[in-house]
Structure 1
Amino acid sequence: MIITHVKKSGNYKYKITVKNQGESTSKASKLKIWFGKKYKIVKIGSIDPNKSKTINVNFFKYSTHKKIYKIC
């Protein structure tokens, strides 16, 4: 799986698109994203082969809005 797109959607909301590049359906997994020292873990359900899923992530006001880093 790979993150294909990250878009800011409002003051403290982000839309993150994850794509399954594999040949079989992915298992449910988790994605850890963070700003500086603050992070959030979100659950991603299974994704069919060559399909994408967009998840919404809300951060609180104290988060700084810089680039989102990822761990896959």
Structure 2
Amino acid sequence: MDHGPLLIGTCSDIEVVGAITAAAYTPDETNPNSFCTGYELSVDHSWEFESLEQQLAVIAYLRTLPLNISE
């Protein structure tokens, strides 16, 4: 899975927003050891947020997803 909870759990909010809005993890200078940096998504999608509140709500929701480490 190319952007499931396990991978997203290692990404910063900046990287996650990039994945959602541009289908590519945005480089985050504050997270130089991230597994997300340079990771290419196999799906091409993009969503636009209407507000910062929407963006924060989606990130907060993603952070609540269980890590399925049994796969």
Assess same fold via TM > 0.5: no
**Max Rg structure:** 1
Specify which structure has the higher proportion of helix: 2
TM-score relative to the length of structure 1: 0.22
